[in-house]
């Protein structure tokens, strides 16, 4: 009886195509009505935003239908794997808001069972040891339109194969000398069926968990489906590049399932690609190793740890992934969409405060020397419940250098000689005099203030066009600010064929400003993870390296999308 749900019904339930397949399997009572997914990172690098898409899918679908999701480290290649990565991966998944409970597994846990399966297949004549080099094997592979050639070692007896395989694992042969291959079909239409490699020799690198116990290690295709089977995974969700691997996944899984009631199923969705970003772990590792970024958590990296350090919230990342959705077609998503999600989220949660990035001093000549007033600032107009904080106002203040022009164009509504502006939350001031040094640089403005214009008080109704942010000079605290821009200067670095990806880096992706002046409230609240909106500038968060004696803020994102404007030009 068909219980396949209609498109209308799945739309009504807000299901994506993967959830729809899972839902149907559950309704049909497959696998005894169980749902178990897994997220299978290889601990050979830090997680990036692409992995976040997979995590949201794997954990999300389990959550939605009351199933479970395993965390399985796919640690079958000791050459590149490390426990540093294992720890980072755990932290990042938790930070994104997902939890695997006690279901933390390792593909290396299954090495004994995988080895047993290989031995069984050898005995059944389904696998053989090949003495050829990887180049020779590749040369015999054929093409999608031409069949491959059989290896001269293909017809070894099971006894000889077993003897050789045991000796491979005893460390008798050097790395690369021999491999174990499945004996399937060198003429198959599916290239992955042309006697795929099951095991290779690795003796030079100890494994981060099993040490030097094993000298042979299973290939991805011989480990993944079986690991799913051993764990009882019902839905093995991965990205589209694994579509051609699926028949092989099923082939090996069936060696274990043997037509029984339970067999894991692979489902593929489109991977996340972002503009101005590379997502290959190999390339990201290169950036780290060559010092082109400060580390895996450099705030310009597309890694989860980089985004966290930069001030992105898990909610904004999850929101972005929700927005782009899951399909069966490869796409390149605009990084502006991610930035938009971050901006929206921070708009709702960031505390408003004042900081002056490039200070210009103002003396308010008619304001009494030594007098300090406290003005009231709203913490977040999006959420009045967050209340207000007090900010000192005094005779000497700083404004942004850009907010003054000696010879302003027509629609410049900021400060100019003889002109008036409001200092946000305080008074209207008028520029009376411009002070310059010997070289003609502006070093100070002398202004007057109108005492009847204090914000929020009766009589402050007089209006001027411009409102500026400011800080009180005597009370402001010095800080360093790191302004980030896109790491790559071209839209699709992965598609660039002429140049090495490192030549495509944006030379202006990091600008460091020192001598930034922040209001005391910011310094007092600059705890790790704090989110500020520096008024009129953007969203900022204290960097990991920030200390009370040396405040450092990362610009998470500007208030507006400056790139979109630039592209329209």
> Between 67 and 86, how does the x/- string for binding to ligand ATP read (CB under 6 A)?
-------x------------
Question: By CB neighbour count within 10 A (0-12 exposed, 13-18 middle, 19+ buried), where does 155 fall?
Answer: exposed
Q: Which helix (H) or strand (E) holds 420?
A: strand 420-423
Annotated catalytic, 271?
Answer: yes
> What does DSSP say about strands 68-73 and 104-106: parallel, antiparallel, or unpaired?
parallel
Tokens of 538: 């953007």
Our CA angle for 74, 80, 85, nearest 5°, is 65
- Shortest CB 338 distance to ligand ATP, Å: 13
- Shortest CB 239 distance to ligand ATP, Å: 4
Please name every residue paired with 316 in a beta bridge, in sequence order, or none if there are none. Answer: none
C-alpha–C-alpha distance, residues 442 and 319, integer Å: 46
**Residue 60 found at the interface with ligand ATP (CB under 6 A):** no
Exposed e or buried b for every residue in 63-84, given b needs 16+ CB within 10 A?
eebebbbbbbbbbbbbeebeee
Annotated catalytic, 104?
Answer: no
| Contact yes or no for 425/455 (Cβ under 8 A) | yes
Query: Of the candidates 503, 51, 499, 42, which has an alpha carbon nearest to the alpha carbon of residue 279?
Result: 51
**Residue 41 found at the interface with ligand ATP (CB under 6 A):** yes
Residue closer to ligand ATP by CB (options 202, 362) is 202
C-alpha–C-alpha distance, residues 422 and 407, integer Å: 19
Q: Candidates 37-45, 153-161, 357-365, 526-534 — which segment interacts with ligand ATP by CB under 6 A?
A: 37-45
Q: Which of residues 178-207 bind ligand ATP (CB under 6 A)?
A: none
| Contact yes or no for 535/352 (Cβ under 8 A) | yes
C-alpha–C-alpha distance, residues 197 and 181, integer Å: 4
> What does DSSP say about strands 265-269 and 351-353: parallel, antiparallel, or unpaired?
unpaired
Q: Candidates 50-58, 211-219, 369-377, 450-458 — which segment interacts with ligand ATP by CB under 6 A?
A: 50-58
**Residue 148 found at the interface with ligand ATP (CB under 6 A):** no
- 524 SS3 class: helix
Binding ligand ATP (rule: CB under 6 A), the pick from 42, 160, 396, 480 is 42
- Shortest CB 46 distance to ligand ATP, Å: 10
Residue among 38, 209, 215, 281 flagged as catalytic: 281
C-alpha–C-alpha distance, residues 364 and 470, integer Å: 13
Annotated catalytic, 42?
Answer: yes
**Residue 350 found at the interface with ligand ATP (CB under 6 A):** no
Number of Cβ within a 10 Å radius of residue 85? 22
**Residue 239 found at the interface with ligand ATP (CB under 6 A):** yes
- Shortest CB 42 distance to ligand ATP, Å: 4
Number of Cβ within a 10 Å radius of residue 110? 21
Q: Candidates 43-51, 245-253, 374-382, 475-483 — which segment interacts with ligand ATP by CB under 6 A?
A: 43-51
Q: Candidates 44-52, 363-371, 545-553, 556-564 — which segment interacts with ligand ATP by CB under 6 A?
A: 44-52
**Residue 53 found at the interface with ligand ATP (CB under 6 A):** yes
Binding ligand ATP (rule: CB under 6 A), the pick from 180, 184, 238, 346 is 238
Q: Name, in order, each residue with C-beta under 8 angstroms of 109's C-beta and a sequence gap of 6 or more.
A: none
Binding ligand ATP (rule: CB under 6 A), the pick from 50, 264, 299, 419 is 50
Residue closer to ligand ATP by CB (options 230, 449) is 230
Q: Which residue is nearest to ligand ATP (CB)?
A: 50
Residue closer to ligand ATP by CB (options 42, 444) is 42
Tokens of 247: 């028949």
Binding ligand ATP (rule: CB under 6 A), the pick from 15, 22, 35, 40 is 40
| Contact yes or no for 70/105 (Cβ under 8 A) | yes
| Contact yes or no for 480/545 (Cβ under 8 A) | no
| Contact yes or no for 448/365 (Cβ under 8 A) | yes
- Shortest CB 349 distance to ligand ATP, Å: 27
Angle between helices 314-324 and 49-64 (to 10 degrees): 80
- Shortest CB 18 distance to ligand ATP, Å: 12
Residue closer to ligand ATP by CB (options 47, 471) is 47
Query: Of the candidates 519, 514, 396, 522, which has an alpha carbon nearest to the alpha carbon of residue 469?
Result: 519
Residue closer to ligand ATP by CB (options 271, 401) is 271
> What does DSSP say about strands 179-182 and 197-201: parallel, antiparallel, or unpaired?
antiparallel
Q: Which of residues 271-330 bind ligand ATP (CB under 6 A)?
A: 271-272, 279, 281
**Residue 267 found at the interface with ligand ATP (CB under 6 A):** no
- Shortest CB 268 distance to ligand ATP, Å: 8
Residue among 90, 141, 271, 414 flagged as catalytic: 271
Could you identify the residue written with the tokens 């990342």?
317
- Shortest CB 205 distance to ligand ATP, Å: 16
Q: Candidates 45-53, 166-174, 209-217, 559-567 — which segment interacts with ligand ATP by CB under 6 A?
A: 45-53
Tokens of 320: 């972005």
Size of the site for ligand ATP (CB under 6 A): 15
- Shortest CB 101 distance to ligand ATP, Å: 19
Catalytically annotated residues: 42, 271, 281
Q: Which residues lie near ligand ATP (CB under 6 A)? A: 40-42, 44, 50-51, 53-54, 74, 238-239, 271-272, 279, 281
């Amino acid at each position: 009886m068909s219980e396949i749900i209609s498109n209308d019904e799945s739309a009504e339930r807000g299901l994506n195509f993967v959830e729809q397949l899972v839902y149907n399997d559950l309704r049909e009572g497959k696998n005894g009505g169980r749902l178990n997914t897994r997220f299978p990172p290889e601990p050979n690098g830090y997680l990036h935003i692409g992995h976040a898409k997979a995590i949201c899918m794997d954990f999300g679908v389990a959550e939605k239908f009351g199933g479970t999701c395993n965390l399985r480290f796919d640690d079958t290649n000791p050459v590149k794997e490390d426990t540093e990565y294992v720890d980072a991966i755990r932290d990042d998944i938790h930070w994104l808001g997902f939890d695997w409970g006690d279901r933390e597994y390792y593909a290396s846990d299954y090495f004994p069972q995988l080895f047993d399966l290989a031995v069984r297949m050898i005995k059944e004549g389904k696998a053989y040891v090949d003495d050829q080099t990887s180049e020779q094997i590749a040369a015999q592979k054929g093409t999608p339109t031409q069949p491959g050639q059989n290896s001269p070692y293909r017809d070894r007896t099971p006894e000889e194969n077993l003897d050789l395989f045991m000796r491979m694992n005893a460390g008798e042969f050097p790395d690369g000398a021999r491999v174990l291959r499945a004996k399937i079909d060198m003429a198959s239409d599916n290239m992955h069926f042309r006697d795929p490699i099951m095991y290779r020799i690795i003796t030079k690198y100890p494994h981060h968990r099993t040490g030097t116990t094993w000298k042979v290690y299973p290939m991805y295709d011989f480990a993944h489906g079986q690991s799913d089977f051993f764990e009882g995974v019902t839905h093995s969700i991965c990205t589209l590049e694994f579509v051609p691997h699926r028949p092989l996944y099923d082939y090996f899984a069936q060696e274990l399932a043997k037509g029984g009631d339970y067999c894991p199923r692979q489902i593929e969705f489109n991977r996340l690609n972002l503009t101005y970003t590379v997502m290959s772990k190999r390339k990201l590792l290169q950036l780290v190793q060559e010092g082109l970024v400060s580390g895996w958590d450099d705030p310009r990296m597309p890694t989860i740890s980089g985004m966290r350090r930069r001030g992105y919230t898990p909610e904004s990342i999850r929101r972005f992934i929700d927005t782009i959705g899951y399909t069966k077609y490869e796409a390149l998503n605009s990084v502006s969409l991610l930035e938009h999600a971050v901006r929206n989220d921070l708009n709702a949660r960031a505390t408003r405060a004042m900081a002056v990035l490039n200070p210009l001093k103002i003396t308010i000549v008619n304001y009494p020397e030594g007098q300090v007033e406290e003005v009231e600032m709203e913490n977040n107009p999006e959420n009045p419940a967050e209340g207000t904080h007090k900010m000192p106002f005094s005779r000497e203040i700083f404004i942004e250098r850009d907010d003054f022009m000696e010879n302003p164009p027509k629609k410049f509504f900021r400060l100019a000689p003889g002109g008036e502006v409001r200092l946000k939350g305080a008074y209207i001031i008028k520029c009376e005099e411009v002070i310059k040094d010997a070289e003609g640089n502006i070093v100070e403005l002398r202004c007057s203030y109108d005492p009847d214009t204090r914000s929020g008080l009766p009589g402050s109704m007089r209006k001027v066009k411009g409102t500026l942010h400011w800080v009180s000079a005597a009370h402001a605290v010095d800080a360093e600010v790191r302004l980030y821009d896109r790491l790559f200067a071209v839209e699709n670095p992965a598609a660039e064929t002429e140049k090495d990806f490192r030549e495509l880096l944006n030379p202006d992706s990091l600008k460091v400003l020192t001598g930034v002046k922040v209001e005391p409230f910011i310094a007092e609240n600059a705890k790790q993870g704090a989110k500020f909106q520096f008024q009129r500038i953007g969203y900022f968060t204290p960097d990991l390296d920030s200390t009370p004696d040396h405040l450092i803020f990362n610009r998470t994102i500007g208030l507006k999308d400056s790139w979109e404007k630039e592209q329209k030009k």
